[in-house]
Amino acid sequence: MTFRGLINEVLIRLREDTISSDWSGDINDSSTISAYQKVIGSLVNDAKRHVEGRHDWLNLRSTVDITTVNGTKNYNLSSGQEIKILDAINNTTGMHLRQVGKTYINTVTYPSQNTGEPLYYGFNGSDASNNLKVDLSPVPTEAHTISFDIIKYQDDLAEAATVISVPERPVILGAWARAIAERGEDGGTQSSLMAQEASEALKQAIMLDSGNTRYETDWYIN
């Protein structure tokens, strides 16, 4: 469902006028969208972020590849700051890399740098665009392709036609509950009920999505 569709689903439940056509660019810069409709758009994004943070959704998964360079320890993942790494594997050797702390990286790097095939990685700051960077250990001596399987949140919805990546129903119900609470008209009764329904919808969505990843904890020996 698109961002405009999500907003309209919430507006209908609030008995408010819906948005009849797509706007151009960012919703907050649009002169055709009312102030209240923009509020609902913000609440939709709040509900989306809540849903995203409750499960490792399949639709939020992607792979970031880096190519190592002889003597280079630090690499940019170019994937933003809000990510979770599920796995890291050296495509050249098939070796899975383990995450370690910066203290361990420093211990094996100084005073005599440990070099060879990378076996570990650790986070080490970010660039000017807030893309996280990792240090590899041992420091590579040749080119390897290392794939990081990550969870990455979708950017806040802003354009009308952007399609949401996570299940829509818990987002709609969550935004509706927030909108009722924002109005403060029901003494908390209806907003609590809607929040409960949103929670149940989220549980069901997680259960369905988890059914497609039930083998992730199985181990295989080649």
pLDDT of residue 153: 94
Give the chain's mean pLDDT: 91
| Per-residue confidence band for 215, with pLDDT thresholds at 50, 70 and 90 | low
Q: Measure CA 136 to chain center.
A: 24
pLDDT of residue 219: 53
Q: DSSP letter string over 181-214?
A: HHHT-STTHHHHHHHHHHHHHHHHHHHHHHTTST
Query: Which contacts qualify for 97-105: CB closer than 8 Å, 24 or more apart?
Result: 97/121, 97/136, 97/146, 100/137, 102/135, 104/137, 105/135, 105/137
Residue 147 placed within a domain: yes
Asked whether the predicted pLDDT for residue 222 surpasses 60, the reply is no
Tens of pLDDT along 95-152? 999 999 988 888 887 887 789 999 999 999 898 888 999 999 999 999 999 999 999 9
Q: Would the pTM count as exceeding 0.75?
A: yes
Instruction: Enumerate the β-bridge partners of residue 66.
Output: 146
Amino acid at residue number 64: V
Tens of pLDDT along 26-73? 999 999 999 999 999 999 999 999 999 999 999 999 999 999 999 999
Q: Which of 213, 187, 191, 200 is nearest to 61 (CA)?
A: 213
Q: Into how many domains does the chain fold?
A: 2
Host domain of residue 70: 61-152
Residue 222 placed within a domain: no
Sign of CA dihedral 9, 12, 16, 22: positive
Question: Are 74 and 128 within one domain?
Answer: yes
pLDDT of residue 187: 60
Residue 217 placed within a domain: no
**Percent of residues, the chain, with pLDDT higher than 90:** 75
Residue 105 placed within a domain: yes
